[in-house]
Amino acid sequence: MSPAPNERDQERDRIRAAIDRILAGTAENSNGALTIVALAHEAGVPRNALTQRHTDLKAEFYTRVRERHGTFEVEDRLRKTITRLKNTIANKNTELEQLRADVPALVRAINVLTLENQQLREAREQHLPTVVPIRFRPHSPHADR
């Protein structure tokens, strides 16, 4: 539920004051981080007030941060991480496609080997000679002489 028009104006004023305090390094209610979460906490508003109702103030905050501090170090690091992860995902998808293409050929090879194995077992059983156990006779003590 959105606040009433007068409450909305007051909320916007609190957000603007919080932007000024955070950028001045004099945050009172937050850790002073240059993030929307810290800004919302500093202004005493829910985070969705900035992400849904006051997107213009969110954009203004980020613009002022960039003007003052350049791009966020965290943002740069996250962008690099995202790029690296996207490359990893693309490589894994390529590998997965190759593995999926290899599976039918491997299944066929297993089927052929299973059939050949069965045929070899049957052939061995047909050609095995009958094995007769050999009985050993004990040596007589005189046989070694």
SS (H, E, C) 80-134: HHHHHHHHHHHHHHHHHHHHHHHHHHHHHHHHHHHHHHHHHHHHHHHHCCCCCCC
pLDDT computed for residue 126 by the predictor = 82
Q: For residue 67, what are its two tokens?
A: 């003007």
Model's pTM, two decimal places?
0.47
Contact between residue 58 and residue 19 where contact means Cβ atoms under 8 Å apart: no
pLDDT computed for residue 97 by the predictor = 96
Question: In terms of pLDDT, which residue wins out, 125 or 98?
Answer: 98
pLDDT computed for residue 55 by the predictor = 93
Highest mean pLDDT among 61-70, 83-92, 117-126: 83-92
Alpha-carbon dihedral angle through residues 76, 82, 84, 87, given to the nearest 10 degrees: -140
Q: For residue 107, what are its two tokens?
A: 């299944």
Question: Percent of the chain at pLDDT above 70?
Answer: 86
pLDDT computed for residue 65 by the predictor = 86
Residue 73 has pLDDT above 80, yes or no: no
Q: For residue 73, what are its two tokens?
A: 């170090």
Among the ranges given (33-37, 75-79, 113-117), the one the predictor scored with the smallest mean pLDDT: 75-79
* Per-chain mean pLDDT for the chain: 87
Residue 134 has pLDDT above 90, yes or no: no
